[in-house]
Amino acid sequence: MSSFFISSLSLPVRQIFSPQHVPFWQTLPFQLGLAIGLILLLAAGFNWRVRSVRAQNIRLQKMVDDQKHVEAELRESEARFRAMFENAAVGISIISPAGKTLAVNPVLVKLSGRSEDELIEIGGRGVTYPEDREAGMAEFHEILAGKRNHYQVEKRYVHKDGRIHWMRQNVSAVRNDSGELSYLVVIAEDIEERKRTLEELQESEAKFRAMFESSAIGMGLSMIDGNMLAANAALCKISGYSEEELKQRSDLENCHPEDAHIGMDLFTEMMAGKRDYYSVEKRYVRKNGEVFWTRLTLSLVRDINGQPSYLVNMVEDIDDQKRKSEALRESEVRFRAMFDNAAIGIALVGLDRRPIAINEALVQMTGYKIDEGGRLTGKSLTYPPDAAIGEAERKAVLENKLDAYKIEKRYVHKDGHVFWVRITNSVVRDENGTPKYVLAMTENIDEQKRAAERLAAQDAEHRRQLEQRIAERTEELNLANERLREKAAQDAVTAERTRLARDLHDAVTQTLFSTTLIADVLPEIWETRGPDEGKRRLEELRLLTRGALAEMRTLLVELRPNALVEVPLPTLLRQLTEALSGRARINIQLSAEGERKLPADVQVSLYRIAQEALNNVFKHSKASEAVVTLRMTDSVRLTVADNGAGFDPSTVTADHLGVKIMRERADAIGAKLSMYSEPGEGTQISVVWKTGD
């Protein structure tokens, strides 16, 4: 180009501007323009190249800066991850897709009790409890297959020292830009305490559920407003409603209207945080309309913020208990009324002999005031010579050998005079049978005792006179025997003794006792009740006196030494029946079979039982005939039967009609006494004695 440019300059000017002789591209203007264009094009290309290089340099610089920034962020991110990895509160490990452990953090080292190298060597499977090694493996393979990116599993780890503890693993996949698995991050959290707490909570809940469902006491859970959330079977049974029905009813609807207000103040205090629970007794109404008493215990359960959450209702049916308590209270009122108003002295006495309570009658009897109760003990009141009476029985009570006993002894009044009392002590035991205290009932029998002493003295005097008369008659018979021939004398003695046997009777003492009592009170009766009553009693006295003569017919036999033992029992019974038949004008038949020698005490007791039974026939039965039967074989059976009015044995006390005496005589010889009677059917008394008894 430059040569072209120079050559063009060497042309003459006229050639340059003369278009007639050369082509236009060989002209100077064209060549100048072309040269300038080329220069400008070259300059523009150079300029573009410079700008292009500069832009490329800028892009390269930016790429370098971006790379440096990314590297800085990566280093920072790695530092943060490393800090988190090293300082995390949970165990972290990095696992390759092949399952090899690449790295573990200090927490995981601490949780396993092994070093980092040991953990990397044995891997997670090596520290897993053998039975849990397959847990989570299916999810792990799903991550490898790209079906999931994370999963969670709970399994047990084995500490280096052998301890087993629960861990929760959160496994997350880390993939590259193409989605290929690079590695896995495993976050392991120690949940042993949480697991134990959960198990304890589940166990506690199971126990509560078992208690709730199986409790014999009604239990329910209700809202604060009283609406039922749950009710157990016992509560349904108590109320008569099903659980669903109870859920539809409020507590106020079930409560007796008159008792609805009971416990409201306590409920307000509980809601205010002043108490956690309260118990009240109130009435509820069953589904069938029946009213019953309950003991309601209401407990408030609060949430974690201390706010009321729900109520636990415990309902105990105390209707029977309430009625028994009411009956006990009424019984106590009756006992207190009896205790305070009884005509005999009553005291509750501790086992240490100290009185727990005494009534006014005992105070009046002893002369001591109530505030002097310390002196009102059996031991301090007892007349010294009688101190030992009742001690053996008291010891038997303390040894659980005796429940009650009766004694007679003398007490000393506060004013010093001595008087007789009859004491009946009954032990009161607790539910275990241990003596708790003694109920002592004291009766003043001083007049009765002194009257008995007077009667005993009179009886002794009558016996002495009788013996004197017998002695006199015997002397008379002896004198007569001296004057008569032997046979005549024997006949006279027999006749005289027969006469005495007709005049005497075994029960003369009892008749004379009754005669004496009537005679003693006859003047007073004549004055206080009038002549008619006095004459009636006088007539009764006359009849008793005449009866005494009839009752003395058989005494002669008994007055002879050992007569009741030496004379055979059939003979004694024959004399007894003949004497009573003649006196009472009752047809009495005797049937006796067998002969045997009986022990003295057995023969006497059987004779006395027959005598008492026949006396009852004469006095009470209104019978026209009676039968006495005696059978003596290996055993002895004595029966006395009559055709009298009879009676209902259940309405007769044990000591009526001489039953008590006859039973005591039978028990003394080991015999069995039985009695049968019905109104209008007569009475039969039987006693059976066996040789071995």
Per-residue burial over 17-54, b if 16 or more Cβ lie within 10 Å, else e, is eeeeeeeeeebbeebeeeeeeeeeeeeeeeeeeeeeee
**What span, in angstroms and rounded, lies between the C-alpha atoms of 537 and 563?**
37
The pLDDT, as a whole number, for residue 430 is 81
Which range, 4-8, 33-37, 576-580, 624-628, has the best average confidence (pLDDT)?
624-628
Residue 496 has pLDDT above 60, yes or no: no
Q: What's the confidence (pLDDT) of residue 283?
A: 92
CB 283 within 8 Å of CB 259: yes
Q: What angle do CA 202, 207, 211 make, to 5 degrees?
A: 145
Tokens of 565: 């033992």
| 481 — pLDDT class (breaks 50, 70, 90) | confident
**Average pLDDT in the chain:** 80
pTM of the model: 0.34
pLDDT one-digit tens code per residue, 391-429: 888 888 888 888 888 988 888 888 888 899 998 988 888
Query: H or E stretch including 59?
Result: helix 28-87
Please state the separation of Cα 630 from the chain's center in Å: 58
For residue 15, the model assigns a pLDDT of: 47
Residue 506 banded pLDDT, cuts 50, 70, 90: very low
* Alpha helix ranges (H) inside 560-685: 563-566, 569-584, 600-616, 659-668
Q: What are phi and psi of 247, to 5 degrees?
A: -65, -25
580-609 mean pLDDT: 82
Phi, psi of 195 (to 5 degrees): -65, -45
**How much is the pLDDT for 562?**
66
Where does residue 606 rank: exposed (0-12), middle (13-18), buried (19+ CB within 10 A)? buried
**Cα separation, 425 vs 346, whole angstroms:** 10
Minimum mean pLDDT range among 46-50, 235-239, 560-564, 601-605: 560-564
Instruction: At 44, give phi and psi (nearest 5°).
Output: -65, -40
Q: What mean pLDDT do residues 42-49 have?
A: 80
